[in-house]
Amino acid sequence: MSNISELAKQTLIVLHERGLKPTPENYSEVFEELSSKKGYSGGTKEKIEKFKNLLIPAYQENLKNRNFKNTDELLSFLISLLNRQGTEKVSSFYEPLNLILKALLVSKDKKIKDMASLSLSRISKTMDAEMIFLLEKKWQEFQKNYENNDFEEELKKYGIKNEDFNSTIKKLLTQLDLRSYEYFASLLAACMKPSLVQSELIDNFAKNLEDKPSKLLDKNFKNILLEYINKRIAADMIFVQKNLSFFNQNLLKLNQMLDLLQNINQKNIDFVNGFDHKKEDIQLSFDDIKSKFMELNEKINAINAQIKITNDPKQRQEWSLEKEILKLDERFLSYKLNYALCLFSVSNYHFIIEKYGIINLGEILTRLKTILENSCGELDELWIVDEKSFMLIIRNKSYDEVINLVQRNITSIENYKFIYQQEVVVPRIQSFFMDKQSYPHLNIYKELLKKLDSENE
């Protein structure tokens, strides 16, 4: 005990000699120094060793071969070590975090992109604990509120599982393309059906379109579609024309029959009025009266038969340009009544559709039809052959008159100014004609169609 008292006194003397204030830290340090020289331990060394043993092996290795006078030196060294390591770790952690956030900036998801942009504006190597805490809270809220349940459910309707953004979008685009083509192909197919008549050619086109909707992607599909639309319009027009011609022919016959009936009736009236009614001995045989009534009855029956033909759908259905020409052939063979067929066709039909559109083609065809109708005589007929061609049936004209008529019609249509966006559209007209007298053993209708087909090949 006396040794400790002696050491305490000696400690105070050394403090005075060194000019140090007798603070607990200075006193403890000098006391430990003097105790060590005397072979005693003041407990500081044991405390330091105790603290060292509490550290993890990595820190114990750093403290090896280092002497600390007191616990303050130990703590100062550990604090310095931790600060250095903390700075190194923050620096090494900052770089990959910065890279991750920049990668998230290119996300196609706006929510993630906005969150990454916010985080990049706030992180730094010197950010304090409060900033880290607030940023962490932001991400926790984001994670909690970020839900794509509705999106997932919508994707299921298309049989798509949302695993990867790019693959999901590609699958959606594929589905969209397929469904769009199917939808529009079905609409187009529905619109292609002629309003008044069946067309196997157009039906096949519409069915093929529904079976293979991807045909909408073909570069030339627009022109093909426009061509078939024109075929559909022509099919309806041919049907209307056929029926109008049928009714016109039958009405003309009825009109002729009614005229005959009227004439017979007028003769009978004149016959009766021709008698001298003052004479009482007028005699009229029963056979004369019967004959006149029978003649009237015959004409009335003929009219009734003609009316039945006019109302008969089968007769109307069988009426056609080809059958009308066959009747003309029969008349030629029986009575040598000549007739001519003149075929007119727009040869640059496809070019006009592609460059100027189907509306302008329609205007040209309408004008051609009007010119041909105006050139018809009283007994002549105009027929639509197809979507770009017309045929004139000409009666009671000489060969030279037919040539002049054809040339006038071609000149009229080619001289007509069709303007499209300040550009003159010039239709090219093909024309062929044949008369029965020049080719008595041929079906001139079929021969003209062959010529047209060979020119179009």
> DSSP for 424-448?
EE---EEEEEEETTTSTTS-HHHHH
pLDDT of residue 342: 92
Residues 425, 353 contacting (CB under 8 angstroms): no
- The position carrying tokens 């052959």 is 385
User: 89-98, 119-128, 282-291, 363-372: which has the highest mean pLDDT?
Assistant: 363-372
Q: Could you count the other beta carbons within 10 Å of the beta carbon of residue 216?
A: 17
User: 137-146, 187-196, 207-216, 268-277: which has the highest mean pLDDT?
Assistant: 207-216
Cα(130)–Cα(368) distance, integer angstroms? 87
Q: For the ranges 230-239, 299-308, 325-334, 404-413, which has the lowest average pLDDT?
A: 299-308
Residues 383, 245 contacting (CB under 8 angstroms): yes
What DSSP letter does each residue of 275-288 carry, written as one string? S-TT-TT----HHH
Cα(127)–Cα(218) distance, integer angstroms? 60
Per-residue pLDDT tens digits for 310-335: 666 655 555 577 878 888 898 898 88
Q: Which two tokens stand for residue 202?
A: 């157009």
**What's the average model confidence in pLDDT over 155-181?**
69
Q: Which two tokens stand for residue 261?
A: 């009936």
**pLDDT value at 341 more than 90:** yes
**pLDDT value at 445 more than 60:** yes
Question: Taking all residues of the chain, what is their mean pLDDT, rounded to a whole number?
Answer: 75
CATH T-level fold of 337-457: Alpha-Beta Plaits (3.30.70)
pLDDT of residue 413: 81
Residues 6+ apart with CB under 8 A from 357: 226, 420
CA-wise closest residue to 265 among 254, 253, 275, 257? 257
Cα(44)–Cα(64) distance, integer angstroms? 17
Q: Alpha helix locations (H) across 123-215?
A: 129-145, 149-157, 165-192, 200-211
Q: Could you count the other beta carbons within 10 Å of the beta carbon of residue 258?
A: 13
pLDDT of residue 2: 45
Banded pLDDT at 444 (limits 50, 70, 90): very high
Residues 394, 342 contacting (CB under 8 angstroms): yes
**What's the average model confidence in pLDDT over 170-188?**
74
Say what the alpha-carbon torsion angle 128, 129, 131, 137 is, to the nearest 10 degrees: 160
Helices 200-211/165-192 angle, 10° precision = 170
Cα(213)–Cα(217) distance, integer angstroms? 8
Per-residue pLDDT tens digits for 203-251: 888 888 888 887 887 888 888 888 888 777 777 776 776 666 666 666 7
Cα(344)–Cα(284) distance, integer angstroms? 62
User: How far does the chain reach from its first CA to its final CA, in angstroms?
Assistant: 133
pLDDT of residue 316: 56
- φ and ψ at residue 247, rounded to 5 degrees: -65, -35
DSSP secondary structure code for residue 213 in this structure? G
Per-residue pLDDT tens digits for 358-394: 788 888 888 888 888 888 888 888 888 888 889 999 9
Cα(302)–Cα(316) distance, integer angstroms? 18
Q: What percent of the chain has pLDDT over 90?
A: 4
Cα-Cα-Cα-Cα dihedral sign, residues 88, 94, 97, 103: negative
Banded pLDDT at 162 (limits 50, 70, 90): low
Bigger pLDDT: 161 or 99?
A: 99
Q: For the ranges 37-46, 82-91, 104-113, 131-140, which has the lowest average pLDDT?
A: 82-91
- The position carrying tokens 């006193």 is 27
Q: Give the C-alpha distances (Å, rounded to integers) separating 236 from 28, 197, 318.
A: 119, 6, 16
Cα(319)–Cα(238) distance, integer angstroms? 12
Per-residue pLDDT tens digits for 128-156: 667 777 777 887 887 777 666 666 777 77
pLDDT of residue 78: 72
pLDDT of residue 447: 92
pLDDT of residue 200: 80
Q: Which two tokens stand for residue 87?
A: 């700075």
pLDDT of residue 434: 92
Cα(64)–Cα(46) distance, integer angstroms? 15
pLDDT of residue 127: 67
**pLDDT value at 196 more than 80:** no
Per-residue pLDDT tens digits for 15-71: 767 777 777 777 677 776 676 666 555 566 777 677 777 777 777 777 777 777 667
pLDDT of residue 57: 78
Banded pLDDT at 1 (limits 50, 70, 90): very low
Structural domain boundaries in the chain? 43-146, 147-217, 219-272+285-319, 337-457
Q: What percent of the chain has pLDDT over 70?
A: 67
